[in-house]
Amino acid sequence: MTKAELIEAVAKDAGVSKADAEAVLRSFFGTVTAKTKKGEKVAWPGFGSFSTTKSKARTGRNPQTGAAVKIAASTRMKFTSSSTLKDALNPKKKK
């Protein structure tokens, strides 16, 4: 799904204009980015939570040449899905 398709789907589902849907989505993603950048966890019950993890600097390999490459330490975004979302994605089959 592209950004335009997401905006269109949200606008239709919520009964608002595409501009309003885009503004809300932009605000949501901006808030998640700002809060996690500060080290806070952003959770939406029934969906999941966004947080950050730190990765240490390490040495990797260039797959083409095999030469050692330094990989800098970085902060990564992490999403953990809730059990409700996992259950919705993986319904239990009746036996």
Question: Could you tell me if residue 65 is inside a domain?
Answer: yes
**For the chain, how long is the longest CA-to-CA vector?**
55
Q: The domain spanning residue 40 has which CATH number?
A: 4.10.520.10
| Whether pLDDT at 95 is above 90 | no
DSSP code for 90 = S
Between 92 and 18, where is the model more confident? 18
What total of structural domains would you count in the chain?
A: 1
58-61 and 74-81 beta bridge pairing: unpaired
Supply the DSSP symbol for 65.
T
For residues 51-58, give the mean pLDDT.
Answer: 95
pTM of the model: 0.77
Does pLDDT of 3 surpass 80?
yes
76 is a domain residue: yes
What pLDDT score was predicted for residue 20? 97
Residue 92 predicted with pLDDT over 80 = yes
